[in-house]
Structure 1
Amino acid sequence: MIKNKFNRFGIIAICLLSFGYSCAQKNISKNISLKEVYKKDFLIGTALNGRQIEEKDSNAVVLIQQQFNAATPENIMKSEVIHPGWDTYNFDMADKLVALGKKYKIKINAHALIWHSQLPGYVRRLKDADSVKQFFTNHIKTVAGRYDGKVFSWDVVNEALEEDGTMRKSIFLEKLGPDFVTEAFRLAQQAAPNTELYYNDYNIEQPKKRAGAIALIKKIQAAGVRIDGVGIQGHWRASNIPLKDIEQSIVEFSALGIKVMFTELDLGVLPNPWDGDAADVNMKAEYSAKMNPYANGLPDSVEAKLTKGYEDLFKLFLKYKGKVGRVTFWGVNDSQSWLNGWPIPGRTNYPLLFDRNFKPKPAFDAVIKLKK
């Protein structure tokens, strides 16, 4: 239980000598927050679930107000939720999200306008290109148009690339052809002229996929269509963060004249069933105790890796603070993280800056310390 609900963060002791830390106690003031410490550098965001948007999770609401000035909805603006029937739209939760942002002065990044996953069933059953095009057009015009000027930005197209940088084999590619991404941005530009428009994907810091993303962005720009930024999701493992690739991506994407965002940041600490990193929500693996080694708590040695990982990342973000527009954590605290259930349901992961009791972790202190 949290007796005083963040009236006081208390004292966090960090003893990570192997990474150059002194074994000294750090006082975390009740007034210290990520959004304030980094307010001159970039926005600090979080992902919100339904209970948080409706303010039913009081501990989360306190933390959200205190720490974040940007927010992205986890699921409530995806097409299966917001557009469940051909002529049926469900704007209730999205409207509540907009109201929450206004209430707490949080900039809303709407997510995700066009995505091959989490489509409503009727779209997956469409057979002809004309019907898919009609859904595509109506969806963008209606949803993006409703929230123009009410949300700060849109992830217009989400995860349209394969790992080798080629176009993902989706219903949109199959029925509409390779120009569907450019057309999505064209329609979004028309429907939402007062909203920033982004392309969002995972692993686009990796060279092949990055090259594909750069080609995609250049294609949009060459068509005279507006694209304001790119979102690198940042689903990495704490022990294997590709810092050189991330830095090169910041340099190459920003050279296109667009903002670079880190949009779904979390650092997993559990074993990966596959070689390499991935973030495809459809990937699944079988549970085993070996794959859930920290069910009863995180060892100090692993906590140290997580802390060092976040410190290294934020050093890099600060180096390019003129080019990085936002850093969004994919969840408010560890209990909310999708990594507890992906790719293996029932695991206990620790990928964020706040623990399951909403208390700041040593990684939080390390990120704050960089600005002192």
Structure 2
Amino acid sequence: MNIIKTILLVGVASVCVSCSSTKSKSNTSISTATNNVLKDAYKDKFHLGTALNLDQIWGRNQKAVNVIESHFNSIVAENCMKGEVVQPQEGVFDFKDADKFVEFGEKNRMKIIGHTLIWHSQPPKWFFTDKDGKDVSREVMIERMRKHIYTVVTRYKGRVHGWDVVNEAIVDNGEWRKSKYYQIVGEDFISLAFKFAHEADPNVELYYNDYSTAVPAKREGIYRMVKKLIEDGRRVDGIGMQEHNGLDYPSIQEVENTINRFSSLGTKVMVTEMEITVLPSARPNMGAEISDREQYRKELNPYVDGLPADKQKQVGDRYVEFFKLFLKHQDKIDRVTLWGVGDGDSWKNGWPIPGRKDYPLLFDRNYDAKPFVQDIINLVKK
């Protein structure tokens, strides 16, 4: 899921060697020969993407950059294009980091995804209120949305391939999230956001993005919302499934149901923020709402000294299971994007419990490929 700076710092602080002598064998790099590179293995199937943080965008983490350039052909901005970053004050835009992100993608001829234009979390602090701290009128809110979207999308017109226009507007029971956008503008804030983005760049792809899409009630809520947008004449090119998964949730069948349901609208389907946590949940049915917080408990941080071999195998088998599903539906899926490069980059190290150590990605804290990456590549060799 999406990450705030504090969480990022916690994740970085937790970096250490991933395996001890009592744990699984050290992860090893795989060859970068064409048939052992993720993006090349899947080049005729779908794009392989990853989210970039600032150290990677600015080249301060060369090991990560090497992995990104070798194995991925699509990138998404983890934080640098969010509202609080690009417009911290009304009318004052800061594109330094976003410009560098786009330059990185262009230099490496990657599919560049902008994330995100409208989201209830991490907006500019001033966005919803007037000088007296009261909610602005509907008219003012719409104009602020329009100006923000026009300015950001126009700047990267013809350079960014697609935008997550709206992020996480539906909750798990299928109802609308009662965000400030919803409270001030109403349901049509989404329709307006897609309208403004299309006007700013008629050729860019436009996406809706959300988590827990395998929850049946939420899946149907998203389906109804997007269906209405399309019926009302809005262009929605794709729906992003944030696959923030665990070792035993969601079920493969429910993810497949979601792929089929969303694609029935005539839209592309994208896996947008994938990782697989190995850590126990703090409570049942947690989604990926970044405002959720739980107190640290030792029993919820069981792998501080490295990941046991049986857990390494579990997460590997789980990734292979998902990639088999994605290959089965390659005609519907446009890209599969991991939410981070190496384990130390993942927001899951600090959410929802600060200080935990997780192992949810394809590359370890040294940016070596985990053994099961070769298994994922081998799926397309058969």
Using the size of structure 1 for normalisation, the TM-score is: 0.91
Is contact 2:161-2:204 (8 Å) kept?
Answer: yes
CA separation of 1:148 and 1:27: change in aligned 2, threshold 3 A: closer
Q: Distance in 1 between matches of 2:339 and 2:54?
A: 14
Counterpart amino acid of 1:88? V
Counterpart amino acid of 2:174? G
Deviations 1:218-277, CA, capped at 9 Å, x for gaps: 111011111100000000102333211110111111111110000000000101111024
Secondary structure in structure 1 of the residue aligned to 2:209: strand
Match of 1:10 in 2: none
Match of 1:12 in 2: none
Alignment of 1:43-122 (within 5 A): 43-122=47-126
Q: Displacement of 1:124 after TM fit?
A: 4.1
Match of 1:352 among 361, 370, 381: 361
Q: Distance in 2 between matches of 1:278 and 1:134?
A: 32
Runs of 4+ more than 3 Å apart: none
Q: Displacement of 1:362 after TM fit?
A: 2.3
Counterpart amino acid of 1:107? K
Deviations 1:322-341, CA, capped at 9 Å, x for gaps: 10000000000100000000
Deviations 1:204-229, CA, capped at 9 Å, x for gaps: 12110010111111111011111100
Q: Unaligned regions of 5+ residues in structure 1, if any? A: 1-15, 17-25
Counterpart amino acid of 2:211? Y
Is contact 2:128-2:136 (8 Å) kept?
Answer: no
Deviations 1:49-87, CA, capped at 9 Å, x for gaps: 011111111111111100000001110000000011111
Is contact 1:182-1:219 (8 Å) kept?
Answer: no
Q: Distance in 2 between matches of 1:81 and 1:257?
A: 33
- Does 1:29 pair with 2:31? yes
- Does 1:368 pair with 2:359? no
Secondary structure in structure 2 of the residue aligned to 1:121: coil
Farther-moved stretch of structure 1 (139-148 vs 36-45): 139-148
Match of 1:245 among 254, 266, 276: 254
Secondary structure in structure 1 of the residue aligned to 2:304: coil
Is contact 1:236-1:277 (8 Å) kept?
Answer: no
Secondary structure in structure 2 of the residue aligned to 1:267: strand
Q: Distance in 1 between matches of 2:310 and 2:70?
A: 29
Counterpart amino acid of 1:131? V
Match of 1:284 among 285, 288, 293: 293
Alignment of 1:217-256 (within 5 A): 217-256=226-265
How many residue pairs match? The answer is 349
Match of 2:330 among 321, 330, 335: 321
Q: Distance in 1 between matches of 2:273 and 2:57?
A: 18
Is contact 2:346-2:360 (8 Å) kept?
Answer: yes
Match of 1:267 in 2: 276
Is contact 1:231-1:261 (8 Å) kept?
Answer: yes
- Does 1:192 pair with 2:201? yes
Is contact 1:239-1:269 (8 Å) kept?
Answer: no
Q: Distance in 1 between matches of 2:166 and 2:86?
A: 16
Q: Percent identity?
A: 43
Is contact 2:87-2:94 (8 Å) kept?
Answer: yes
Q: Distance in 1 between matches of 2:125 and 2:263?
A: 37
Q: Distance in 2 between matches of 1:341 and 1:354?
A: 18
Q: Unaligned regions of 5+ residues in structure 2, if any? A: 1-23
Farther-moved stretch of structure 1 (259-268 vs 300-309): 300-309
Q: Displacement of 1:131 after TM fit?
A: 2.4
Match of 2:142 in 1: 133
Secondary structure in structure 1 of the residue aligned to 2:356: coil
Q: Distance in 2 between matches of 1:200 and 1:235?
A: 13
Using the size of structure 2 for normalisation, the TM-score is: 0.89
Match of 2:153 in 1: 144
Is contact 2:129-2:136 (8 Å) kept?
Answer: no
Match of 1:163 among 157, 168, 172: 172
